[in-house]
Amino acid sequence: MNTREIAVKILCEFEKDLKIKPHFERLTKNLSFKDRSFVREIVSGSVRFLKLLDFSIEKVSGKNQKKQHPAVRNSLRILAYQIFFMSVPLYAAINETVEAVKHFRKKAAGFVNAVGKKLINFDYKAEIEKIPDFYERISTLYSFENWMVKRWHRFYEDELVSILSFLNRTAPLYIRINTLKVKVSDYLKFLEESGIEFEVHPFIKEMVRIKGKVDIQSLPGYADGFFYIQDVASYLSALLLSPQKGKKILDIAAAPGGKTTAIAALVENEADIIAVDVDSERLKLLDRNLEKLGVNCVKTLKTDITKENPFTENSFDRVLLDAPCSGTGIIRRHPEGKWNKSLSLIKHNQKLEKALLKEAFKLLKPGGTLLYSVCSLEREEGEEIVNFALNIGFKKRDFDIKFEEIGVKGSMARVFPHKQGTDGFFYAIFTK
């Protein structure tokens, strides 16, 4: 299959389970970096702008997208995405997509060709402006579910459009230099010598943004564990915990280990860290990351502390609870998150977060510190959890480390793509 055929196939699989990664990895493993990048962009973009693309296709074709054959429906989506958002020559976008659909549904080639030609001159912005309802208009233009747009408007008011717009942007690639293996200054020299364009974070020196499209495996020290791919917002969870050498630290829901390994680096492998998770496969990945990054102060354990808490009460000086959540703050990295969320999922997550906090309270030493974080924009998983924590006995305290440049101060904070350029995260810090 050529790249567009693969993209169509991935999107057909996506429709079945609303997942991208497993299908992408399986169907592109034999492609070159360049072709994988093309397929990734066309698939992620089509999922990101699904509602807008379907609106436009239905307008020019007069046909309901839901009634189309899956391969035809998704061929039209990748074609519309190329025409609207990519710099692919128009004749190539149409011709190559028509050839792709022939692989699945030969008799649909003429239809796809005709729709493509109509899309070239279609002004989707002007057509969307005609939609009378505000929420339907905004949710179509930015391609989000109506219920998401309504609740974020209630939460964030005038910031709504900025939030939607920035969640639609491709997330930057940040790496955390692994100071257990290499000095920051030395690694920056390696990047320079390799001709890699990069930018050091303005106030977190070990965080580096890699510019342009780069094959991760081509970065210096990839095989040696010199870096870990991690967004600044994720790293902040470890920083704000303010871990100390010689202390006993618990990382709950730790896999695949981005924050666990960050904590280990911050204490220079001189702490007693226990990382727990309920997922065996993700724990295996965590163990591999520990080994690759040279972390030797972490013990891993498969357990669900809400059902079988194996630890003694008042055991830990520090607890990090980066809780399972809806993930609405990382939609720019996972555009499928627009379509696989629900209010019931948010409520389910809130129950789980509360249950984890209850157990974590028992395990924290009096005077100890717990850092709660979620990659979520939802108030139920952020501010409402703070109220719950205070009700069960936690006490507010201020962050030891403050990042006032990005508004992280006091005892809780939110960061956003449109404000801080990070993933959307919520943090709160407590003592007992």
Q: Which of 12, 297, 325, 375 is catalytic?
A: 375
CB atoms within 10 A of CB 68: 21
* Six token digits for residue 113: 């060709």
On whether 304 is known to bind a ligand per the annotation, the reply is yes
For the chain, the three-class secondary structure string (H helix, E strand, C coil) is CCHHHHHHHHHHHHHHHCCCHHHHHHHHCCCCHHHHHHHHHHHHHHHHCHHHHHHHHHHHHCCCHHHCCHHHHHHHHHHHHHHHHCCCCHHHHHHHHHHHHHCCCHHHHHHHHHHHHHHHCCCHHHHHHCCCCHHHHHHHHHCCCHHHHHHHHHHHHHHHHHHHHHHCCCCCEEEEECCCCCCHHHHHHHHHHCCCCEEECCCCCCEEEECCCCCHHHCCCCCCCCEEECCHHHHHHHHHHCCCCCCEEEEECCCCCHHHHHHHHHCCCCCEEEEEECCHHHHHHHHHHHHHCCCCCEEEEECCCCCCCCCCCCCEEEEEEECCCCCHHHCCCCHHHHCCCCHHHHHHHHHHHHHHHHHHHHHEEEEEEEEEEECCCCHHHCHHHHHHHHHCCCEECCCCCCEHHHCECCCEEEECHHHHCCCCEEEEEEEC
Closest CA to 44 of 168, 210, 223: 168
Residues 6 or more apart whose CB falls under 8 angstroms from that of 124 comprise 52, 55, 56, 59, 84
Question: Is 375 assigned a catalytic role?
Answer: yes
On whether 259 is known to bind a ligand per the annotation, the reply is yes
On whether 92 is known to bind a ligand per the annotation, the reply is no
Closest CA to 322 of 375, 399, 245, 392: 375
On whether 256 is known to bind a ligand per the annotation, the reply is yes
The separation between CA 381 and the C-alpha centre of its own chain, rounded to angstroms, equals: 16
On whether 322 is known to bind a ligand per the annotation, the reply is yes
φ, ψ (nearest 5 deg) of residue 417: -60, -40
On whether 253 is known to bind a ligand per the annotation, the reply is yes
Active site residues: 375
Binding-site residues sit at: 253-259, 277, 304, 322
| Known binding residues for S-adenosyl-L-methionine | 253-259, 277, 304, 322
